[in-house]
Amino acid sequence: MSVFQHDYRPYDGPTTALWKRPLVLARYGLGEAWGSKITVGLAVLALLPCIVDLVLMYLANNPVAKMLVMRGNPLLEINEKFFLGMLETQCWFALVLAAWIAPRLVSFDLGDNALPILLSHPISRFSYVLGKFIALTLSLSYVTWIPLLVLFVYQCYASPVPWTMGHLGIAVGMFVGCAVWIVLLSFIGLAVASWVKWRVIATGAMFAVIFVPAGVGAIASTVLRTKWGMLLNFPVVMSELWQRLVGAPQLFPGRMDLPSPALVAVLIAASLACVAVLNARIRAREVVRG
Amino acid sequence: MGVIALDRLEVRLGGRTVLNGLTGELRGHAVGLLGPNGAGKSTLINTLLGFHEPSGGNAKVLGLDARTDRMRIRQSVGYMPENDSFIGNMSGVRFVRYMAELSGLPPAAALERAHEALFYVGLGEVRYRKISTYSLGMKQLIKLAQALAHGPKLLILDEPTNGLDPTARQRMVQLIKEIRKEGSMHMLISSHLLRDIDETCDEVLILKKGSIAAISNIEEERRSHRNFIEMEMTGNTEAFAEKMQALGCECARFAGGRVKVVMPDALSQRDLYVTAAETGAEIRRIQTRRDSLEDIFLRAMDYEGGRIDHVSLPA
């Protein structure tokens, strides 16, 4: 083919490896997600708390600033509790971002019935989901563990006393906590977006999937007088998990004493349910039974 | 080796058998896939692409097993689906580039080929517009462009003229003819429009209720019956018929002076007039008729058995 000659010529150039094809999907997915001004706006908004935290860290670590601004107030301490607060804030921003981005990654494909064409190329359904998953996790990383670890590094640098070695667990805990949350959000986001073709409704459905079971779980806990209903409450489950990972003291001691394996099990179960939804929905062709 | 080889291929979907023991080999450069609605044309295409798992038998595309070599088949195939299938939010060139990259082209080559493919199908001027703003004809063409961009060895077109107005249809048919003429790729064209297949294909596979009703080489059929002649005559048609048979023709007389003749290559139409003059018959009307795809299709639709038949003309 030639633009000028308008005739066809076969392609005999090099081709990329099969394993790189999901990265093509991820790259175009990122382009689609970040092509929206709303995405950029949300991402900027999500970084504002980090700037506030950065200022607080500066104040807490600078003796002169501490004296002038804080007037010797000892309340501001950079410890596990401080980082836990940061972690929770950023992770809830990640939920908002995921609710906006995930439908943009999948709904366009489903809405225009693009799956037959996409999957007629040498990518499998798994590769398709993997590509979208990578795009979503990278987007969410931008507002979660990346800024949090940058702030942790700053704290290590700014602390006037040896601080790093005694608090490495915070960094590991934040990273693992963010990773768990990102993976869960990505699974839920992609599953919801694959189920609901309309983007606005998919965004709403994403919040519903997180908060409606929480309400059901709270009712179940109250009516049945059991703590196990709280396992349906993703915000509580994640708060508990983050608190244990970072090693912060419990905010409300005795409120919930669910074992860690139960928390992990409910997250795995939710992820598997999302995989099942994706398996049912991401298909080149629908087969009508009967 | 055939482009597509089917060996007792059976596909069951939703608890019912959609393709039932298809066996045959397609060697044509442009193969037409014909059949009434529900005959299994799209299911066969989807099976060749690996979208459906065969429940029995085997299918090979370009020598690759449809069950185990899905990725390699898709690498070598360009597919234009029947229904709307695109990403409306993308510009034409971005969409075609995206599809080319998914087929393994490096980004720079994919961009170059996307521009070329869009110019080739006639969408060069609108390549920066969002696909959602395209007309139906343009949407068909962009599906063709993305199928061509990575330079496939086999192009599968599922109802390529579906929903097109006569001008757009003619343009699509012309494009398909050009691709066929260029000769670097095979084509499998599914359609329920006999005219489209007749104009573009040299071999046809006719499906009926999930079975092969006929595999026919259209070109050979036409070549072997190029002297099939229908006439309306008056006078001594009996003597005319006897004389023509003596010259080596197959000849049949019908009511109303109608005479059908299949002439050997050695004879020409002039011999008809000479013979008519010699036997006292008059030719009132003469029509040279080629066996049409419609004849082949209609005969295949009458077929009910389990035998694959290479359809031939009636004597």
Interface of A with B (CB under 8 A): 1-3, 6-16, 18, 21, 24-25, 28, 32, 108-109, 111-124, 283-285, 287-290
Is residue B305 situated within a structural domain? no
User: Does the distance separating the beta carbons of A3 and B115 come in below 8 Å?
Assistant: yes
Residue B152 binned pLDDT confidence (cut-offs 50, 70, 90):
very high
Residue B280 lies in domain? 227-286
Which of B13, B48, B70, B87 should one mutate to test binding to chain A, selecting the residue with the greatest count of A CBs within 10 A?
A: B87
If you average pLDDT over residues B212-238, what whole number do you get? 80
* B242 and B275 fall within a common domain: yes
Is residue B295 situated within a structural domain? no
Which pLDDT score is estimated for B158?
92
Is residue B304 situated within a structural domain? no
Is residue B36 situated within a structural domain? yes
Residue A70 binned pLDDT confidence (cut-offs 50, 70, 90):
low
* B155 and B115 fall within a common domain: yes
Instruction: Give pLDDT tens digits for A169-183.
Output: 999 999 999 999 999
Decide if pLDDT at A52 tops 80.
yes
Is residue B312 situated within a structural domain? no
Which pLDDT score is estimated for B182?
84
Residue A139 binned pLDDT confidence (cut-offs 50, 70, 90):
very high
* B110 and B140 fall within a common domain: yes
If you average pLDDT over residues B126-152, what whole number do you get? 93
Average pLDDT in chain B: 87
* B93 and B194 fall within a common domain: yes
Which of A121, A126, A286, A288 should one mutate to test binding to chain B, selecting the residue with the greatest count of B CBs within 10 A?
A: A121
User: Does the distance separating the beta carbons of A9 and B151 come in below 8 Å?
Assistant: yes
* B204 and B261 fall within a common domain: no
* B68 and B43 fall within a common domain: yes
Is residue B19 situated within a structural domain? yes
* B185 and B38 fall within a common domain: yes
**Which of A18, A24, A28 minimises the CB distance to B71?**
A18
User: Does the distance separating the beta carbons of B106 and A122 come in below 8 Å?
Assistant: no
Which pLDDT score is estimated for A160?
79
Helix (H, G, I), strand (E, B) or coil at B271: helix
* B177 and B237 fall within a common domain: no
Q: What is the CATH number of the domain that holds B142?
A: 3.40.50.300
Decide if pLDDT at A287 tops 80.
no
**Which of A1, A24, A118 minimises the CB distance to B113?**
A1
Which pLDDT score is estimated for A49?
95
Which pLDDT score is estimated for A254?
59
User: Does the distance separating the beta carbons of B77 and A120 come in below 8 Å?
Assistant: yes
Query: Which pTM does this prediction carry?
Result: 0.83
Stated length of chain B: 315
Which pLDDT score is estimated for B315?
34
Number of domain units in chain B: 2
Which pLDDT score is estimated for B310?
45
Residue B116 with chain A: CB contacts under 8 Å: 1-3
* B145 and B121 fall within a common domain: yes
Q: Which two tokens stand for residue B64?
A: 């690759």
Which range, of A24-28, A59-63, B76-80, B271-275, averages the lowest pLDDT? Answer: A59-63
**Domain's final residue, options B173, B200, B219:** B219
Is residue B245 situated within a structural domain? yes
Distance CA A126, CA A282 (A): 9
Which pLDDT score is estimated for B279?
92
Q: What is the complex's ipTM, to 2 decimals? A: 0.88
Decide if pLDDT at B162 tops 60.
yes
* B89 and B198 fall within a common domain: yes
* B124 and B191 fall within a common domain: yes
User: Does the distance separating the beta carbons of A1 and B116 come in below 8 Å?
Assistant: yes
Percent of chain B with pLDDT over 90: 49
Q: What is the CATH number of the domain that holds B280?
A: 3.30.70
User: Does the distance separating the beta carbons of A13 and B109 come in below 8 Å?
Assistant: yes
- Nearest CA to CA, how far is A119 from chain B (Å)? 8
**Domain boundary assignment for chain A:** 36-281
**Domain's final residue, options B160, B187, B219:** B219
* DSSP strand pairing (B30-34 vs B211-217): unpaired
If you average pLDDT over residues B226-245, what whole number do you get? 86
Is residue B297 situated within a structural domain? no
